[in-house]
């Protein structure tokens, strides 16, 4: 069970400032480990997502109106928690004209203003592939921008509710071409083959992705997609070595790896 002084401090700060974290909303198995290292992944734009992907534990439905004070509270919390590397993600907000891109930019800028020494990783939705919206996040200059493929191309229509594999690759390409470190992740155990995993690695490298995370899919509830296979830790290690040989700068690969696990290591030098 998660416990410890840093864990309690993070938990109390999140509660006091009425913030959301993917750590709790997504039932992450690493919550104890990360919170004890003083890292948390903030989830902006509320906790209700407009999409209903089959793997995800986040609530889906009609989101509440945007809370424009949230960027200030997050910036203040990062300061209070003395976070050295801040990770931000969000629900999908297909109800907003720009998918929440302006809000994303404001959040990044506020964190930087309050915490000039803190590095930032953003785990962004696809913004329906609209380049001008993705550009708003890029122009706010976080150190790392991550966008997850989640799974191999063949399984994407079954796993992700609206996102498309090729569109996600295009998003990653736009990030990489901007000069910012591009990162992506997939889950194993959904019925993919080894050949498909290797193809996904090649697809990511072809669009300039530097960092890849590979973790085991775990069903958040009994109503979610069942696990097709539990992949061995040895196999994860093998994929890590293959990925590094292929050319990724970093590969985090083990059963409990999630997108932002040990994210502080992924601020790449170009």
Domains of the chain listed by start with CATH number: 5-266 (3.20.20.70)
Q: In a 10 Å sphere around its CB, with 0-12 CB exposed, 13-18 middle and 19+ buried, how is residue 199 labelled? A: middle
The pLDDT of residue 269 is: 46
How far apart CA 132 and CA 181 sit, in angstroms, is 19
Q: 98 to each of 105, 128, 240, how far by Cα in Å?
A: 11, 9, 36
Question: Taking a C-beta distance cutoff of 8 angstroms, is the pair 243, 201 a contact?
Answer: yes
Note the pLDDT of residue 64: 80
Instruction: Report the pLDDT value the prediction gives residue 270, as an integer from 0 to 100.
Output: 43
pLDDT of 194: 98
pLDDT of residue 172: 97
- Cα gap 216→124, rounded to integer Å: 21
Evaluate whether 259 touches 23 at the Cβ level (below 8 Å): no
pLDDT for position 115? 94
Q: Closest Cα to residue 265, out of 13, 10, 87, 141?
A: 87
Residue-level pLDDT, tens digit, the chain, 270 residues: 556 666 666 667 767 766 666 565 555 666 666 666 666 678 888 777 766 666 666 677 787 888 899 999 999 988 888 888 888 988 777 777 888 899 999 999 999 999 999 999 999 998 989 999 999 999 999 999 999 999 999 999 988 877 789 999 999 999 999 999 999 999 999 999 999 999 999 999 999 999 999 999 988 788 888 999 999 999 999 999 999 999 999 999 999 887 766 666 656 544
CA distance linking residue 264 with residue 98, whole number of Å: 29
**Which DSSP state fits 128?**
G
H helical segments located in 17-96: 22-25, 31-36, 70-80
What pLDDT is attached to residue 197?
98
| Residues ≥6 apart with Cβ < 8 Å to 210 | 176, 181, 182, 183, 248, 249, 250, 268
pLDDT at 245: 98
């Amino acid at each position: 069970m998660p416990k410890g002084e840093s864990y309690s401090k993070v938990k109390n700060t999140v509660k006091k400032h009425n913030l959301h974290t993917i750590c709790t909303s997504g039932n992450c198995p690493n919550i104890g480990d990360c919170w004890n290292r003083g890292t948390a992944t903030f989830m902006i734009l509320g906790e209700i997502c407009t999409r209903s992907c089959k793997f995800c534990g986040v609530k889906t439905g009609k989101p509440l109106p945007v809370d424009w004070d949230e960027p200030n509270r997050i910036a203040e919390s990062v300061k209070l928690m003395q976070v050295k590397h801040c990770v931000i993600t969000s629900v999908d907000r297909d109800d907003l004209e720009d998918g929440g891109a302006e809000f994303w930019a404001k959040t990044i800028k506020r964190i930087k203003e309050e915490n000039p020494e803190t590095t930032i990783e953003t785990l962004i939705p696809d913004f329906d592939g609209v380049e001008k919206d993705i550009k708003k996040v890029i122009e706010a200059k976080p150190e790392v921008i991550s966008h997850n493929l989640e799974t191999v191309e063949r399984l994407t229509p079954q796993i992700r509710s609206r996102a498309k594999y090729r569109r996600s690759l295009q998003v990653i390409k736009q990030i990489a071409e901007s000069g910012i470190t591009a990162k992506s992740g997939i889950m194993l155990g959904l019925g993919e083959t080894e050949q498909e995993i290797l193809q996904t690695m090649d697809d990511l490298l072809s669009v300039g992705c530097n960092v890849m995370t590979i973790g085991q899919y775990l069903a958040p509830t009994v109503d979610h997609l069942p696990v097709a296979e539990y992949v061995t830790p040895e196999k994860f290690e093998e994929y890590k070595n293959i990925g590094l040989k292929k050319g990724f700068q970093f590969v985090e690969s083990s059963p409990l790896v999630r997108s932002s696990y040990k994210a502080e290591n992924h601020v790449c030098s170009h």
